[in-house]
Structure 1
Amino acid sequence: MKRKRFIVEIGMGADLHGGDVTKAAQRAVKDAMSRSCLCGLFDIAKISDPNQMHVEVRIGCPQPEKVKRDEVKGIVPFGSVTVETVLGGIDVKGLHLPALGEGDTIVVAVAALTVYVEMPQTV
């Protein structure tokens, strides 16, 4: 069996009040997933269970070391999932509203989701 790549989707997410990179990363993953329909995996790759797929999540954000990877991983509903974080995204000064979060930093993360399926060598 050989792992074949089927989908690459990009998403963007932000935490507007508080600079929470994990929240921004989760939103970026949700954004990418919201534009992906995996019907080809069933129709073309002939998988019978969505847990047969492997999803690689790559997050670019300020302070990648602060991302809680398990919380980001938990956003993906199916398959085996790995999460990698790298320096990227952006942060800017926003507005401090204590009712919405701590601090005045807007943080933006981007996510790339790559979906793979194990396929026979002949395919």
Structure 2
Amino acid sequence: MTMKILQRQIKIRRRILVETRSPSAPAIQTFSHRPYHKLPVTHQPSSSWKDLQVGDIERPTWNDEWKRLGLGAKLVDDMPFPSNLFFVQLGFGADQHGEKSNATKACVRAVRNAIEFNSIPGVIQHIPGGRHAMLIHVKLGVPKGATVDRLQVAKVFPYGRLLPIQVEVGGLEFHSGRVVEELGDDDDVGICCVACVSIGYNDDDDESKQTSHKTFSTKDGY
């Protein structure tokens, strides 16, 4: 096939596309990219559930059925981190619609993504007191300026002792190219959050009262 023949075929295809395009087709509405939210950083690691003024709520639950069954993690102001790590899970959550200054929905999805695809039967044997006594530490990465309702995130956990949730700057904002005003969108900005959920326990001896976990290296034979 010569170059002239190839060029002629390309012109014919272009003409067909132009002729078959419907003149009555609605125009696509475009939205200019607005700058990302520049809000002050309001999320800092919480040292205590009492700081969040959760009142007399000791065991938040996901729904009425959980409440009837006695499910729900217990809120505890214990050590900042389990000194003996047993399992570390990572999750991702996104929210494309609604108020972008509130990352709660994306954080709930990130935590659920981290914990809902795992089975950890070893908790019964390896953590003193089993699943009800295991410590849960949650670290969330959210876009700068976004707030998180930690109590709503706490409702995701069916059992265990939940330490104060730590929230730091992370995640990202992105343009989805879609604005749904019925869902509360002012622009096409969506947010992504990441979650690190660690479970473990602390020893009863005083020497274990530290603020970090034990780390093991393969070079030491572990």
Under a length normalisation based on structure 2, what TM-score does the superposition of the two structures give? 0.48
More deviation in 32-41 or 5-14? 32-41
> Residues 25-104 of structure 1 correspond to what in structure 2 (within 5 A)?
25-45=107-127, 47-48=129-130, 50-63=131-144, 66-81=147-162, 82-94=164-176, 95-103=178-186, 104=188
Deviations 1:72-119 (A, max 9, x none): 112122122121000000001221112334332210000000001245
> Residues 96-115 of structure 1 correspond to what in structure 2 (within 5 A)?
96-103=179-186, 104-115=188-199
Is residue 53–residue 80 contact of structure 1 (8 Å, CA) maintained in 2? yes
Under a length normalisation based on structure 1, what TM-score does the superposition of the two structures give? 0.83
Structure 2 portions without partners, runs of 5+: 1-81, 206-222
More deviation in 78-87 or 2-11? 2-11
Q: Could you tell me how far apart the structure 2 residues matched to 1:52 and 1:64 are?
A: 34
Match of 1:13 in 2: 93
More deviation in 7-16 or 97-106? 97-106
Match of 1:24 in 2: 106
Structure (1/2) with the larger strand percentage: 1
Structure 1 portions without partners, runs of 5+: none
Distance change in 2, residues 1:46/1:54 (3 Å):
closer
Q: Higher relative contact order at CA 8 Å, sep ≥6: structure 1 or structure 2?
A: 1
Is residue 127–residue 134 contact of structure 2 (8 Å, CA) maintained in 1? no
Structure 1 runs of 4+ aligned residues shifted over 2 Å read 43-48, 98-104, 117-121
RMSD over aligned CA atoms reads 2.1
Pairwise CA distance, 1:66 = 0.7
Pairwise CA distance, 1:36 = 2.4
